[in-house]
Structure formats: C-alpha cells, structure tokens
C-alpha cells in the first residue's frame, strides 16, 4: 500500500494527464477513421474547458453538468463549423480547421474586452477552478467511449465511415450520404475533445488561451499518428506513450523533445500504420497457429 501511495504521489498527475490525452486521441480518431484531416480538436478542447470552467466558477453548476454542457457546446460549434468546411478535402480542410483553432484562442484572449464581462480571464487565463477531476471519472468516461467505439464499428454507421475513408466516390454510389456521415464523425470528435477540455480544466485548475494553440493541435494529431488509425486502441496507445515518455526521459533534460521527434519519424517510416495494426497482430497469431 505504501508503494502504491508513493507511486501515486509521484506519478498520479502524469497518469491523469495520460487519461485526458487518451480522450483527445479518441476525439481525433473519429475524424481520421473517416479520412478527414482535421486540426480543430485543440479548439474544441478549449471551448469545452472554458465553458465548463466558467459554469463551475460563476454559476456554481455541478461538475457533471458543467462537463456535459462544455462538451455539448463544443459539439454544437463543431456542427456549425462542419457545415461549410467539410466541403473541403485534405490539406485545405486541415488549414481551415487550424484557422478555427486560432479563432478560438484569439476569442478567448479578447472575449472580456468585447463583452465587458470578466468571465474568461483574458490573456492571463482563468484560474481558481476547483479540482474536481478524478481518475475514477476519467476511467469511467474512457470505458464508456471504448464500448461506444466497439458498437460503432459493428453498426451500419461504422461501416459507412470506413467506406468513406477508403473511397468517397464508391461510398456515394452505394447510397451512403457521405456529407452527413462526415459531419457525424466531426461532431463526435468535437464532443469528446470538449469532454477532455473540461476534465483538463478541473485537473490543472487553470485554463489559458495558449493551452490550445497550434502545438496542441499537432500533439493531438501525433497521438493517432504514433498509435495508428486502423483501430481505436491505437489512439489510446499513442496518447499514453507520448504522455509518459517525457517523464521517462526526464534525465535527458532539454534533449527530450529531440528523442520524441526521432521516435515519431521512425514510426512514420517503418510503421506507417502506427504501432497498433490489426492486420499485423492477426498475422502474428496466424503464424503461431500454423506452428
């Protein structure tokens, strides 16, 4: 028991940040699984963080309600954003969604000036948020999301999303409403990113506009690139590794970032589908059965 207490006192915050990053990995998995290169998830995370934190501080709203409203706000904005931008493809979609993230950041900085209200803290950020995030709540939400993803892949909607990723034109000829399914994936990703933002705000007790900048969007994308997008567990693995690795490499000090970059480059070159590749795993089991 003492060993666990010492471990949690030292690494408890790292574990919780890893769980939050797993949520972010799932949020971008929805869009990547559909073939959408979106960099808007950091912006959606910011919306969820600010809305949930403002409700908790200024309205005294219970944590579960604040969390849900923040996630729904991100999903609503995601739906409104998706209506025009999902007509774009590839790098054009990435640039448009990256611009959305900057809009969220700049709005957070200047919101108090425009509205005359002191709700978001401006450029200095919003502090004094109660610490309400717990490992149990994070694990519970992750468990529910994993069940949802398993059921989604087995459903007609999941098969439609996979078909769109492979070839939009063929999917359309099969009677699949490509645009509506893209919008569904986009909104689901926004909702989960909003949840992650609410959890993060109530863990760090602070929300700042620079927390959701370009680097945050790239980090979220890196979770899926490292873990892989062929299976939903890849996003979890990638998020866990990229959260824990800097702590494991703390002895390297300023060179930790270089090691992270080298690992990502090697994975992209030698494992282009990520660390979790269902075909590769099935091949291993088949070879064992043959022996």
| Residue 263 pLDDT | 80
Give how far the C-alpha of residue 188 lies from the chain's centroid of Cα atoms, to the nearest Å.
Answer: 11
Q: State how far the Cα of 22 lies from the Cα of 18, in Å rounded to an integer.
A: 6
Q: Is residue 184 part of a domain?
A: yes
Could you give the 3-state DSSP secondary structure of residue 259? helix
Reported as a pLDDT band with limits 50, 70 and 90, residue 282 is low
Domain membership flag for residue 4 = no
The reply to whether 258 falls in a domain is: no
Instruction: Give pLDDT tens digits for 235-249.
Output: 899 999 988 888 877
Instruction: Return d(Cα 112, Cα 33) in angstroms, integer.
Output: 37
- Quick count: other Cβ atoms within 10 Å of Cβ 291? 5
Spatial contact of 32 and 225, defined as CB atoms under 8 Å apart: no
Number of domains in the chain: 1
Kindly report the pTM of this predicted structure. Answer: 0.90
Distance from chain centroid for Cα 189: 7
Q: Is residue 243 included in any domain, yes or no?
A: no
Report yes or no on 78 lying in a domain: yes
Mean pLDDT of 136-162: 93
Q: Which domain holds residue 21?
A: 16-214
Instruction: Give the whole-angstrom CA distance, residue 109 versus residue 209.
Output: 6
- Kind plus residue range of the DSSP H or E element containing 36: none
pLDDT score of 202 more than 50: yes
Distance between CA 45 and CA 70 in Å, rounded? 9
pLDDT, tens digit (0-9, with 9 covering 90-100), for 48-90:
999 999 999 988 899 999 999 999 999 999 999 999 999 888 8
Q: What is the pLDDT of residue 285?
A: 46
Tokens coding 76: 């609503």
30 inside domain: yes
Q: Which helix (H) or strand (E) holds 147?
A: helix 135-154
> Is residue 24 situated within a structural domain?
yes
**Cα 192 from Cα 24, distance rounded (Å):** 7
Which is more confident, 173 or 230?
173
Q: Angle at CA 221, nearest 5°, toward 190 and 197? A: 40
């Amino acid at each position: 028991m003492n060993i666990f207490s010492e471990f949690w006192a030292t690494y408890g915050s790292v574990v919780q940040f890893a769980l939050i990053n797993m949520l972010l990995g799932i949020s971008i998995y929805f869009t990547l699984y559909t073939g959408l290169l979106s960099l808007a998830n950091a912006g959606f995370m910011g919306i969820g963080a600010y809305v949930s934190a403002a409700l908790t501080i200024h309205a005294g709203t219970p944590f579960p309600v604040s969390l849900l409203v923040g996630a729904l706000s991100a999903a609503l904005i995601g739906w409104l954003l998706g209506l025009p931008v999902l007509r774009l493809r590839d790098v054009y979609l990435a640039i448009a969604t990256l611009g959305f993230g900057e809009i969220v950041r700049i709005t957070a900085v200047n919101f108090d000036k425009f509205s005359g209200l002191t709700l978001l803290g401006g450029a200095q950020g919003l502090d004094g948020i109660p610490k309400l995030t717990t490992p149990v709540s994070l694990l519970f939400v992750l468990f529910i999301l994993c069940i949802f993803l398993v059921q989604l892949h087995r459903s007609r909607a999941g098969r439609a999303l996979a078909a769109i990723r492979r070839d939009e034109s063929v999917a359309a000829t099969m009677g699949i409403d490509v645009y509506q399914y893209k919008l569904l994936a986009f909104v689901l990703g926004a909702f989960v990113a909003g949840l992650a933002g609410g959890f993060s705000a109530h863990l760090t007790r602070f929300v700042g506009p620079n927390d959701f900048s370009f680097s945050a969007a790239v980090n979220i994308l890196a979770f899926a690139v490292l873990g892989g997008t062929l299976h939903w567990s890849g996003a979890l693995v990638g998020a866990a590794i990229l959260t824990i690795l800097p702590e494991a490499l703390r002895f390297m000090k300023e060179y930790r970032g270089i090691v992270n970059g080298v690992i990502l480059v090697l994975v992209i070159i030698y494992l282009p589908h990520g660390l979790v590749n269902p075909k590769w795993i099935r091949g291993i089991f088949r070879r064992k059965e043959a022996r």
